[in-house]
Amino acid sequence: MGEWVIGVVGGSGLYALDALEDAQWIQVDTPWGPPSDALLVGRIRGVRFVFLPRHGRGHRLPPSAVNARANVDALKRAGCTDLIAISAVGSLRDSLEPGRFVAVDQFVDRTFARESSFFGPGMAGHVSMADPVCPRLTTLAADAAEAAGAPVTRGAVYLAMEGPQFSTRAESRMYRQWGCDVIGMTAMPEAKLAREAELPYALIGMVTDYDCWREDCDPVEVGEVLARLNANADTARRLVVELAQSLPTRREPSPIDTNLDTALITAPDARDPAMLAKLDAVCGRVLRRPG
């Protein structure tokens, strides 16, 4: 493989990457429907980047309307080797103050209204999510965030809620008891789908506010979140530039690149051709393998 092609999924407040050279927006069609927006492709310091605004430019899409399957498929079709999500999150810990960046390493998935797998009737597959992020990519992204001037916490549990409403106080306190550290609405099923597509995934959470578990704080409001998002977005753009500068010249293979080798369970003669056609990008490597 050798060359890095970094997909960047930009969350709330991050809708473009100004540092991209020779940047152009391209349309990518997928069998899962349209992605959130066109893809912005270009290079930074010689490294190819593919940027996708998760909510679309202008923030058109609420969390439950984001077509994560189409987004991940489109990034795979565009040649991405790795995916970094940069997402707004609320804090469930005093030590994770607004403005801090958090390198997430675990998830609790509480979403329920979203398609969470590329697999289905006619082609069953099961990938492990025990360790849901790529440690190599997460370390590189956290290092880049520090180089960009952000305070960074490494290691955190992300609670993915359905939304679009914010938590009740009872929910927020319960999530803290579960051991969760930050809360958001978009990392799931995105991280699961990246794993099914054999794409190493990292998530850097940008803390915008304390969730409503604190007695001495007012409930979360959109205005407060937007103000912090604007400040965080500038740092996030610098993070991407620092990442481009720090990537090893050669991309060594990751175990995630081949995790489907042991994930497909449907016998070849029982596989649905129509489903296989839809899986051509995310599973093409293993489906085209002889035998």
Place of tokens 């565009």: 78
Instruction: Report the SS3 class of residue 181.
Output: coil
Whether the bond into 35 is cis, omega within 30 of 0: no
The radius of gyration of the chain from alpha carbons, rounded to an integer in Å, stands at 18
Return all residues near 46 (Cβ < 8 A) that are at least 6 apart.
Answer: 244
How large is the average pLDDT for residues 89-93? Answer: 96
Whether the bond into 164 is cis, omega within 30 of 0: yes
pLDDT of residue 83: 98
Comparison of pLDDT for 77 and 230, the residue scoring more? 77
Cα within 13 Å of Cα(270), Cβ side: 9
Mean pLDDT over each residue of the chain, to the nearest integer: 94
* Structural domains of the chain in order of their starting residue, each with its CATH number: 5-287 (3.40.50.1580)
Angstrom distance (rounded) from CA 196 to CA 142: 24
pLDDT of residue 1: 52
Q: In which band, very low, low, confident or very high, does the pLDDT at 220 lie, cut at 50, 70 and 90?
A: low
Q: Which of 193, 210, 212 is nearest to 201 (CA)?
A: 193
pLDDT of residue 2: 86
Comparison of pLDDT for 18 and 245, the residue scoring more? 245
- Residue pair 156/207 in contact (Cβ under 8 Å)? The answer is no
Angstrom distance (rounded) from CA 153 to CA 123: 39
pLDDT of residue 216: 74
pLDDT digits (tens, 9 = 90+) for 34-72: 999 999 999 999 999 999 999 999 999 999 999 999 999
Helix H or strand E encompassing 244: helix 222-246
Active site residues: 209, 211
Q: Is the pLDDT of residue 141 over 90?
A: yes
289: left (phi over 0), alpha (psi -120 to 50) or beta: beta
